[in-house]
């Protein structure tokens, strides 16, 4: 009988299980961090678009047209906020960082309305009950974007 030093099958299985659990935890944490980073990019993009909208309004006296009257105008539609690109206020038509599953959308309520132009993005990680500040939620619960019952929408109102 030889006296060899080796691992038992149980010890190997325990080590493999522990490594697998650590890998799973790291994978989930990395995935959540990526979602949060995309949400921060969405918020930053909407704030930059809001600034571009205000500059556009100051220059022309009106907001860009809503090419989908009565509905939101989103980045999957042709020439989304092309007026901002044409004026050199943004370099390209904005797109959500995880397109095509999520969208940036725009709606112009028109002058004389306290909401003005509305920019909307859907966040991946936010689950609050009142909206992540400074998100505005102009519509009543149960309606389309920005209602209190759907807390994943991040909305920026750009009053005239």
Chain segment 25-50, per-residue pLDDT in tens: 877 778 888 888 998 899 899 999 99
2 within a domain of the structure (yes/no): no
φ/ψ (deg, to 5) at 129: -110, -10
Judged against a pLDDT cut of 70, whether residue 13 lies above it is answered with yes
Domain count, the chain: 1
Q: Which one has a higher pLDDT value, 1 or 81? A: 81
109 within a domain of the structure (yes/no): yes
Q: List, for residues 90-121, the tens digit of each pLDDT value.
A: 999 888 888 667 889 888 877 777 677 888 88
Helix (H) or strand (E) holding 30: helix 9-60
pTM of the model: 0.74
Angle at 110 between CA 104 and CA 116, to 5 degrees: 55
Judged against a pLDDT cut of 70, whether residue 151 lies above it is answered with no
Please list the residues that pair with 48 across neighbouring strands: none
35 within a domain of the structure (yes/no): yes
Q: Which one has a higher pLDDT value, 157 or 1? A: 157
Domain span including residue 134 = 10-158
């Amino acid at each position: 009988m030889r006296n060899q030093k080796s691992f038992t099958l149980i010890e190997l299985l325990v080590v493999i299980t522990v490594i697998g659990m650590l890998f799973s935890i790291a994978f989930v944490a990395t995935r959540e961090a990526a979602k949060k980073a995309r949400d921060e990019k969405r918020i930053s993009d909407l704030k930059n678009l809001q600034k571009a909208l205000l500059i556009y309004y100051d220059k022309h006296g009106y907001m860009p047209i809503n090419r989908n009257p009565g509905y939101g105008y989103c980045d999957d539609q042709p020439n989304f906020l092309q007026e901002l690109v044409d004026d050199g206020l943004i370099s390209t038509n904005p797109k959500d960082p995880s397109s095509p599953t999520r969208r940036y959308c725009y709606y112009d309520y028109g002058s004389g309305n306290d909401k003005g132009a509305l920019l909307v993005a859907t966040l991946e990680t936010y689950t609050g009950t009142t909206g992540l500040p400074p998100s505005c939620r102009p519509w009543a619960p149960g309606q389309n974007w920005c209602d209190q019952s759907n807390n994943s929408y991040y909305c920026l109102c750009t009053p005239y």
